Structure 1
């Protein structure tokens, strides 16, 4: 069985919306994304579609070297998966990409998280709900609470994830390559 790595990227971009969410959560990272490569060349999430308007959101492929991510703080985790799990995840990503105009950001779901009331809406996700959905549908992680209540901190706490890096996202790249500098490597496990 061939094993591969997938990557969880948690960020704090410092945007107005992130600051508002952080006031409530008291957590350092309030945005979650997922990638199948260590270079983070293909990063997917549900978030803003334009830099200037945080309220127009949906399924996005994020450029982590530009825009709000340029000065973002981050934590990066990896998880070992099978080829079959990667294929399932890629299938869901292709489906979402093909139908992305039909998907929107689940802003109402964020209020559900605040009041611990699961709000599942058709074709709508917020970032961590989307990542949890992909992990769940790809048979990678079974969550013990509704996906519409999963927060970035919940993802960070999954014991299957291994800590890789924490700091400025731009510093994750060394000499314009996505090589992890040796002094940043650390293995740390968290439990759910």
Structure 2
């Protein structure tokens, strides 16, 4: 059935909660989301429902252009998998979205990760637990840990992920547009971020043409 590309967005908003998580995990970019288009028009995760209140969370469709996210540090990775696997992920996300009012953010689960205590709560997920849960539907992308122990770093370090952008999230789309224009014109001088973008599936199509 061919191959499809999915995208993982890792962000660090710089909030007090993000800093606390970074300190505890000794990692940065401790929020992960998933998307199915390289423009990141639709981005899915578990996070804040209200930007100013970190304690009201659940299933969210994130807007990378929002004031809350556009100043975030980020990294975007692409991953290729079969069209069948991609459809399975999308169906699982639709299933969760349809029941989103019954879901909540799994704050206790974060404590469980830190203490290595398995805390499974019905209809409660944190961001990387959500991503790991929808990825369980696939054959290609499997993590060895239970979803309740999966961290953004576990997903980011998975074999096969290709970095296509790193920098400020608000600059992502502009950088992608500049890169595409340069590729169409055949320009050779690319920025470091633009060069990374050469790894994405869309640019590969330009090169093949």
Distance 1:4 1:158 in 2: 17
Distance 2:131 2:177 in 1: 24
SS at match of 1:170: helix
Question: Which residue pairs with 2:152 in the alignment?
Answer: 152
Question: Which residue pairs with 2:43 in the alignment?
Answer: 43
Question: Which residue pairs with 1:12 in the alignment?
Answer: 12
Q: Which runs of 5+ in 1 are unaligned?
A: 188-192
Distance 1:180 1:151 in 2: 33
User: How many residues were matched structurally?
Assistant: 185
Q: Are 2:138 and 1:138 aligned? A: yes
Question: Which residue pairs with 1:3 in the alignment?
Answer: 3
TM-score (norm 2): 0.84
Deviation at 1:180, TM superposition (A): 6.8
Distance 2:66 2:139 in 1: 32
Q: Are 2:81 and 1:81 aligned? A: yes
Q: Are 2:89 and 1:111 aligned? A: no
8 A contact 2:85–2:137 mirrored in 1: no
8 A contact 2:9–2:32 mirrored in 1: yes
Q: Deviations over 1:106-136 (max 9, x none)?
A: 0000000101122111111100111111111
Q: Which of residues 177, 180, 184 is equivalent to 1:179? A: 177
TM-score (norm 1): 0.91
Q: Deviations over 1:153-173 (max 9, x none)?
A: 111110121111111111111
Structure (1 or 2) with the larger CA radius of gyration = 2
When you count helix as a share of all residues, which structure comes out higher? 2
Distance 1:119 1:179 in 2: 43
Deviation at 1:26, TM superposition (A): 2.0
- 4+ residue runs of structure 1 moved beyond 6 angstroms? none
Distance 1:180 1:40 in 2: 16
Note closer, same or farther for the CA distance 1:95–1:180 as it changes in structure 2 (3 Å cut): farther
8 A contact 1:15–1:68 mirrored in 2: no
Deviation at 1:86, TM superposition (A): 1.5
